[in-house]
Amino acid sequence: LKPGRVFSGARPTGRQHLGNYLGAIKNYVALQDEYECVYSIVDLHALTTLESTQDLRQNSYEMALDWLAAGLDPQKCIIFIQSHVPEVTELHTILSMVTPLGKLTDLPTFKEKARMHPHNINYGLVGYPVLMTADIALYRANWVPVGVDQAPHIEFSRETIRSFNFHFNTNALVEPQMKVTNVPKVLGIDGQQKMSKSLNNHIELAATPEETQQRVLSMVTDPARIRRTDPGNPDVCNVFSMHKIFSGSEEVEMINVECRRAGIGCVDCKKRLAKNMNASLQPFRDRRADFDSKPDQVWDILHDGARRATVIAEETMHDVRAAVGL
Ligand code: ADP
Ligand code: NA
């Protein structure tokens, strides 16, 4: 018997990058062997900023390809698209009734998003965490994997679920626990900011070897190392950080030593990284191309996931409707 159910959702941002893989997907893959995992492509959440909704289906499909190629196995976990199980919107409405508005506007991520989209602070953006809570509650997740920065959201979900159960004198909903995982924060090719599609400082998992090499060659290294003859400091160099992920320990050690005494130049160092990165991503790319050659099979996996998710959702909503009096 598995030690409980894990739920996690990610907005369909299309092709995934190294940050998504190392910071999330890799952990999803590890969890599926131990837990009963439900992974959702949260397309309704992606609507909150109303950007590129025309690409939504394609972005969901591309993300599914990346998840499957990275090793998420539909035999071991449920992979589906959020909007394919519309019960989540009903639970969202019900949960909104036990949610004080001030709690939502106090959340740090809301404040940040409101700063980023000052002209489009719609109700959906404010209610984002309620929809997230509805997802977690609908699938009766015991565990939600989070990085430290998402802790306030899960705390909000726990409180909302507790509040629902208290108000309707029920235990229809399960209070989840945070599964804090020590995932790395991957920096972008600028070497400064978190790797992100919106900052265009990312390297896509599915990029061609040539594109990957070109992105790696444009990475910012130790800014104090200007001439080839200057010694560098690997401790502040994102190329070195990536070598630690993609290169063998002997090569990493060689670079660590040679960079500090200007024995190896940044261009050579980056070419080695690109080569190792490409070698390590090739099996993923082959699997991805294989899935992409059979899109019907990918959609079947997603639809089958939605069917299995619906079974759980219907059980929950049966109890929720009874508790509420609907
Ligand atoms: P969402 O808003 O749905 O979380 P993102 O594309 O921002 O969508 O991120 C998806 C997942 O990938 C999240 O778990 C996020 O923490 C992780 N992630 C994204 N970028 C990075 C990064 N540069 N380093 C580590 N993890 C990342
Ligand atoms: Na995010």
pLDDT digit string (tens) for 152-206?
889 999 999 999 999 999 999 999 999 988 888 999 999 999 999 999 999 999 9
In the block, residue with structure tokens 């492509």: 41
How far, in Å, from the CA of 211 to the mean position of ligand 2?
25
ipTM: 0.92
Q: In the prediction, which pLDDT does 245 show?
A: 97
- The H-assigned helical ranges of 97-180 are 101-105, 108-116, 123-138, 151-167
- What pTM, to 2 d.p., does this model score? 0.95
What is the number of the ligand 1 atom nearest to the C-alpha of 13? Answer: 6
Three-state SS at 230: coil
> What percent of the chain shows pLDDT beyond 90?
88
Identify the CA nearest to 127 among candidates 164, 158, 98.
Answer: 98
Whether residue 121 has pLDDT greater than 90: no
Residue nearest to atom 14 of ligand 1 (CA): 24
Does residue 11's CB lie within 6 angstroms of at least one atom of ligand 1? yes
Q: What is the C-alpha to C-alpha distance for residues 149 and 176, in angstroms, rounded to an integer?
A: 17
Q: What is the mean pLDDT of residues 128-155?
A: 92
Say which residue, 150 or 55, is predicted with more confidence: 55
Q: What is the pLDDT of residue 217?
A: 98
The confidence score (pLDDT) of residue 50 equals: 66
CA of 147 to the centre of ligand 1 (A): 10
Q: Could you tell me if the CB of 194 is within 6 A of ligand 1?
A: yes
Distance CA 150, CA 82 (A): 20
* Ligand 1 pocket residue status of 205, Cβ below 6 Å: no
Ligand 1 center–CA 25 separation, angstroms: 9
Residue nearest to atom 19 of ligand 1 (CA): 20
Strands (E), the chain: 5-10, 36-41, 77-81, 143-146, 177-180
Quote the ligand 1 centre to 166 CA distance (angstroms).
33
Residue 34 reports pLDDT greater than 90: yes
Domains of the chain: 5-186+294-324 (3.40.50.620), 207-288 (1.10.240.10)
Rounded to the nearest whole angstrom, what is the distance from the C-alpha of residue 315 to the centroid of ligand 2?
30
